[in-house]
Structures are given as C-alpha cells and as structure tokens.
Structure 1
Amino acid sequence: MDVSEIIIAGDTPGVVWRLPVFRFEGASAEAPRIYIQAALHANELPGTALLHFLLDRLRQADRDGAILGGITIVPQANPIGSAQAHFGELQGRFDLGSRTNFNRDFPLISLEDRDCLLEQPDLYSAADRLKRHLLHMALGADLVLDLHCDDEGLQYAYIDEAFWPDAADLAAALDMKAVLLSDGESSAFEEAVAHAWKHGREGERRTTLPGRLSVTVELRGTRDVYPELARKDAEGVFRFLVGRGIVAAPKAGLQAFAGKAVPLDNIEMIRAPEAGAILFHRDIGDNVKAGDLLATILARPGAPEGTIEIRAPQDGLVVTRVSTRFARRRSDLMKIACAEPSRTARKPGTLEA
C-alpha cells in the first residue's frame, strides 16, 4: 500500500490543504481498477467510517498478495469543507466562500481531456482545484464509488441508467433498499465521471458503458456513524470487490437485489406548503398508500385550524426524511419512491440543491 498527499494551496496566504490518498497496486492488468471516496460533503461521515474498516481488510489482502486490480481510496475527500463551521456546527455541503454545493459544478469533459484537469491550477479556486484532482483520480479507474449519506434515510444509491442493471451486485452487497436511476444530467461528481466515459472523444456519446460504474452511495443518515454499521458496510464493499475480481477471495453467495429501482421521475419530493414545526406520522422504510397522512405542519400553533396535513400523493416507499423539525415554506420533507411517475414537473438533474 502506498500513502501519499495531494497538496492544494489555499486562496489566502498561509493556508494549505492536504488530501491523503491510499493506493494499492493490482497484480493483474486485466482486473478492474476502482476509486472510492467519502465525505465530499464533509459532514457526511458514514463513508469515512466505512473506509477506515475497509482499509484494514485491504491491507491484509495486500499482505496476502490478493489485490488483483488497482484500488485508490480517499477517506476524507474534502478538507476544505471539514474546516468550515458556522456557529459551532460543521457545514460541509456548501462552500461558505462561493455558496456552491461541493458536489456540483464538476467539469464536464471528454475522457481524452482528463490530463487537462490539472493544467494551469492558478486559474482556479482551491475548491475547484480540489474537484479537478478528485475527478482526475476517478477517471483513471473503471469503477467509482462516491460515498455519501442523507439526512435520515435508508441505504440507497443514485445510479445512472447506463449502469443498470449491471450495478445490482453493488446494491445487493450493500443491502440497499432502493436504487434511484438518474438521468445523467447534472454536474455532480458521479455524473461528471459518467459524462467523461460517455464522451470518450470530442463529439462521441455512448449510451452503454460495459465494465464501468460510477455511483453515489447513500449510507443511511448523517447520525448513522457506528462501528457495527461501518464494519457491515465495509464487508459489503469488500464482497463487491471480490465479486468484480478486484480482490482474490472466496465469493460469498449474495441474495439478489430485492429493493425498489425507480427513475428519478418516480420520486415524490414531499415539501412543506407553509413554514412551521413538523410532526411526522411516517418513518423511513414505511410503505405508504395514496392519501396516508405523512406529516402535520404546525403553521399557526395554538390557533384553531392552524395545522396543515400533508398526505401521500401515491403509493410508495419512504426513502428519506429530514432530521430538522422546523420547515420553511417549500422545504423538502421526504422522498418517496413510487411505481408511477410523479405529477410534479421535475427539471433534469439532481433532486435537491
């Protein structure tokens, strides 16, 4: 195993960011290469815990000569975000300097332009240089896992339709309850990787990518950072590595993926019609029917008829829920995965800012 650091100069004097990178050299040129990162949203730490335990397994596999494919791991992909706290609370999702989501605005390039990502670094802010380094590393692999988590959520993933159903082995290995099939129309990290693969050369656009995978894995919620969960998830990723021929080990029998796989157009984004305290009536993992009471908003507490009931627009599975208990007008409350498309118009790209 090789451990190195990528040094990123800050945007003000005296500031330098260090990005630790763990690499295992594979013994087989035919085996797939994988890149895994966590905590791009710096306050989402289940993936960091997972990679801590996965690295233990991989060091042992390395000592045993069992690493077949190249493995690159970045356990904390955003040192800039890790340093950004506001009134004592780690932010991590948005760059306080630019107000940009750390998982947006990745360069959408063709694969042949990969090396251009690191040219003329002085033209870019520290956050943009970080993004360009992460994308450059990922584009040297065949498989890419970007580990995130939701606010309160089930184990699920965003997977470009180009990779489905081939990615069902990952969904099964991590015991996912849902897969949200994305349309590849955003500048988020995993979609920027897929964009480069689809556009290997200028003017090219592939619709199938055999042997490739770029996925955002949502490891439950922000508070689900426990050693037993991290070890379980690390074992799941290890089984995936074995199944894909990256690590040589006996293949454990996996149950087929049994969760829901639905396009983003089938996701009901439940939002608050007015501001107020939130009383949830349904939890993540609940299967709901059309008309079921999901939440009550105390828009005018204490006043007659001061409450607003929010009901399920159609049958589905509650995949996520916000952890806050106060909503602003039009705040997101839940995601529900449904069998039918939502009647709410959705722009192409991500579900949330």
Structure 2
Amino acid sequence: MESIRHSLPWSPSGSDHHLTVLRFGSGPRKAYIQASLHADELPGMRVAVELKRRLAELEKQGRLTGVVELVPVANPIGLGQMFQATHQGRFDFASGANFNRDFVDLAALLAPQLEGRLGRDGEANMRLIRSAMLTALDQLPPAKSALEGLRRLLLRQACDADLVLDLHCDFESILLLYAQPQHWPRLRPLAARLGAGAVLLAEDSGGQSFDEACAGPWLKLAAQFPDAAIPAACLASTIELRGMADTEAPQARDDAEAILGFLADQGLLAGDWPAAPATCCEATPFAGAQYAYAPHPGVVSYLQPLGAWVEPGDALFEVIDPLSDRHSVILAETRGVLYARERLRYAQPGLWLAKVAGAQPIRQGRLLTD
C-alpha cells in the first residue's frame, strides 16, 4: 500500500488540512473509491475501514490485477466542522456551499482543446482525453479557497479511473444507488451484491455532483464529437449506505465484500468470488422520485417504515402543531418504495421529510436538493 498525502490550500496558519489517498496494486485499469464527501455521513467511512484492511490482504496475496485508490476521509474540512457538539459536514462553513456540488465541468474545459484531435480509435481517444483532463486541471488558476482546492484534488485523483464509487448515506434510508442510465446495465451486479432497494437514474441531475463530474464528460464529449469513437470510459455511481446511524461493523464488512466482489466483476481482483445474485431491484428515473414536504410547522410522526411499498394516496407521515392543533396527513403521490426519511421530527419550511422512488417522471429541471 502506498499512502499519498495532498495538502489543501488556504489552511489556517499553524494548521494543515490534507487529503490522504491509499493506493493498492498496479496495472492498467483503476478503481477509485472515496468515502464521506459529506463529512457527517459516516457509514462510508466505516466501510472504507473494512476495504482498507481487505485490500491490504489481497495485495499481499497478489490478487490485485489493477490499481485501487481509496480515500477513507474525502472531506477533512467538513470532518472538523462541529457546532455546539453537532457535526455539520454537508455544507462548508466558510461559503455555505454543499461539498458535493459544483465540481469542474471537464467536458466544457476540454472541448476546445480536442477539436480536430479525435479519431475512430476509441482506445487512443480515451488515452488522449484522460491526459487532457489531468493537464487541464493542473493548468487551472490557483484555488481561491480550501473547498475549491479540495474539489480539484478529488476530481484529479478520480478523473482517469475506469470505475468511481462515491460512498454516501442519507438521513434515514434503505441502501440505494444513483447513476446515469447509460451505466445501469453494468452497475446492476453492484446493486444486486449490495442488496439495494432502489436505484435512481439521471444523466444530469443538476448541481455537478462528484459522480457525474467523473462520468459525465465522456457522455458529453461523445455527443459533441459524434464522428469520433469516444467510449463511456468511466463507470461511476453514488452509493447511499443506508442512514447516518448505520455504522455497525457486520454491515460494514458485508458492504465491503459486496464492493470487492464488484471489483472482481470488473477484472480488478483475481481469484474465486461469489457470483452476483440473480435478482435485483429495478431502476427508476430520479425524476420519478417524490419529495414530500409538510404544509405547516409541527411534530412529525411517520406512518410508513423505510422500504415500504406505497401507492398513491397512502399516508406517509402526519404533522401536528402542538399549539393550534392543526393536523395534516401527507400522502404518497406515486407508487413506489419509500426510500428515505428526514431524521428531524419537527417540520420546517422547505425541508423534505420523505422520499418515494416512483417509475413515472413527476419532476423536471434540477433534481438534486442541497
């Protein structure tokens, strides 16, 4: 194992924020896995502990047939953001920005440089584009903040990978994946191995999140240069590892083994691995997800468990104002799986409280919330 340490710019005087990358194995193909970009989402960090241990064992056994880069702590800035004993790892204190938004659009950056240089050789084009990505990121002006520096470091580390897995979690949630629809057939074994209860697909969900910043440029460049052979060279997914409190060791070990099994599916690990289960949940469009809100303040009581299958008109939760006695029951508007709930139990304006994965699109425009 090689440990690589990157210092972040704009660290306060007398202190040093740094990003640590653990590199295992060698070979022409590469997987990149990072955890807890939202620093208060700790199940991914716990799974990374297990991945680190197992990858070290597999490396000693000579079973790595490619490079696996692991970033167990993808957000050292947010990891230290505590406010009155409460971890605040989703938004940067300095700017208010979401740590998993606004990554560099590599397709826009590269397109002018690639004019007239791409041909019909897909492998040659892949090498050219990956080299151009690294060069373009290196030639950007100096980062204006620690957050901008962190985003660039993470993207530079991952942009030349064949596989990118970004480990997150929701507030209270079943295990689910986010991905681009073009990649779903190749990601189905991963969802099956993890026992995912939902998979949400969108080519561009808005916000330029990390997984789309890695995989999206290949799709955008292929559309912009239709006469060139440009492969979908980066398979990427965000994995929501259930809820924020789900850090139990047995579960983390099972999730790590499922991810390792998928790395074997991708030809990055040698040896005998259990086959992926034949059964898997069906993917649905991210635009089909209902975000349910309360119409007024009050105490929230959920009326459905996580993972429940609901039909339109089924009650999801109720809200009761303890002073006015105003009472509202919020209903499902689509049929599908209740895949996430807010952990807070007091309704506030603009705060979603439940999410249902439906098969029919009901939203448009930017699909991600902050």
TM-score, with length taken from structure 1: 0.92
Other structure's SS at 1:169 match: helix
| CA–CA separation in structure 1 for the residues paired with 2:64 and 2:141 | 34
| CA–CA separation in structure 1 for the residues paired with 2:104 and 2:232 | 23
1:34 correspondence with 2:34? no
**Which residue in 2 is equivalent to 1:129?**
149
**Which residue in 2 is equivalent to 1:346?**
364
Query: Aligned-pair distance for 1:210?
Result: 4.5
Query: Aligned-pair distance for 1:120?
Result: 5.4
Query: Aligned-pair distance for 1:202?
Result: 11
Aligned residue identity for 1:42:
A
Aligned residue identity for 2:330:
I
| CA–CA separation in structure 2 for the residues paired with 1:63 and 1:248 | 13
Query: Aligned-pair distance for 1:10?
Result: 2.6
1:51 correspondence with 2:48? yes
- 1:305-324 alignment runs, 5 A limit: 306-324=326-344
Task: Give the one of 101, 107, 114 matched to 2:98.
Answer: 101
1:146 correspondence with 2:166? yes
User: Is contact 2:65-2:268 (8 Å) kept?
Assistant: yes
**Which residue in 2 is equivalent to 1:244?**
266
Other structure's SS at 2:186 match: coil
Aligned residue identity for 1:225:
T
**Which residue in 1 is equivalent to 2:17?**
17
User: Is contact 1:183-1:348 (8 Å) kept?
Assistant: no
**Which residue in 1 is equivalent to 2:214?**
193
1:207–1:45 CA distance, 2 compared to 1 (3 A): farther
1:220–1:213 CA distance, 2 compared to 1 (3 A): same
Query: Aligned-pair distance for 1:226?
Result: 0.8
| CA–CA separation in structure 2 for the residues paired with 1:178 and 1:155 | 7
Name stretches of at least 5 consecutive residues in structure 2 with no aligned partner: 108-128
Question: Alpha-carbon deviations, 1:180-234, whole Å to 9, x = none?
Answer: 0022243110111122323458944799855531110000000001101110101
Task: Give the one of 166, 169, 181 matched to 2:186.
Answer: 166
- 1:229-308 alignment runs, 5 A limit: 229-298=251-320, 300-301=321-322, 303=324, 306-308=326-328
1:287–1:349 CA distance, 2 compared to 1 (3 A): closer
Moved more, 227-236 or 322-331: 322-331
User: Is contact 1:269-1:333 (8 Å) kept?
Assistant: yes
| CA–CA separation in structure 1 for the residues paired with 2:78 and 2:49 | 19
| CA–CA separation in structure 2 for the residues paired with 1:210 and 1:192 | 13
| CA–CA separation in structure 1 for the residues paired with 2:184 and 2:72 | 26
**Which residue in 2 is equivalent to 1:226?**
248
1:333 correspondence with 2:353? yes
User: Is contact 1:34-1:143 (8 Å) kept?
Assistant: yes
Query: Aligned-pair distance for 1:257?
Result: 4.3
| CA–CA separation in structure 1 for the residues paired with 2:224 and 2:337 | 40
| CA–CA separation in structure 2 for the residues paired with 1:92 and 1:80 | 8
User: Is contact 2:33-2:71 (8 Å) kept?
Assistant: yes
Moved over 4 A (4+): 199-203, 205-211
**Which residue in 2 is equivalent to 1:182?**
202
CA RMSD of aligned residues (A): 2.1
**Which residue in 2 is equivalent to 1:81?**
78
Moved more, 129-138 or 164-173: 164-173
Aligned residue identity for 1:282:
Q
**Which residue in 1 is equivalent to 2:120?**
none
User: Is contact 2:214-2:234 (8 Å) kept?
Assistant: no
| CA–CA separation in structure 2 for the residues paired with 1:183 and 1:348 | 11
1:207–1:108 CA distance, 2 compared to 1 (3 A): farther
Query: Aligned-pair distance for 1:294?
Result: 1.1
Comparing both structures, which one devotes a greater share of its residues to helix? Answer: 2
**Which residue in 2 is equivalent to 1:8?**
8
TM-score, with length taken from structure 2: 0.88
| CA–CA separation in structure 2 for the residues paired with 1:117 and 1:76 | 22
| CA–CA separation in structure 2 for the residues paired with 1:4 and 1:99 | 29
Query: Aligned-pair distance for 1:303?
Result: 3.9
Query: Aligned-pair distance for 1:302?
Result: 5.1
| CA–CA separation in structure 2 for the residues paired with 1:209 and 1:349 | 26
Other structure's SS at 2:262 match: helix
| CA–CA separation in structure 2 for the residues paired with 1:45 and 1:314 | 31
User: Is contact 1:163-1:209 (8 Å) kept?
Assistant: no
| CA–CA separation in structure 1 for the residues paired with 2:88 and 2:308 | 29
| CA–CA separation in structure 2 for the residues paired with 1:120 and 1:209 | 26
The count of corresponding residues between Structure 1 and Structure 2 is 345
Other structure's SS at 1:10 match: coil
User: Is contact 1:152-1:221 (8 Å) kept?
Assistant: yes
Aligned residue identity for 2:61:
D
Other structure's SS at 1:9 match: coil
Other structure's SS at 1:99 match: coil
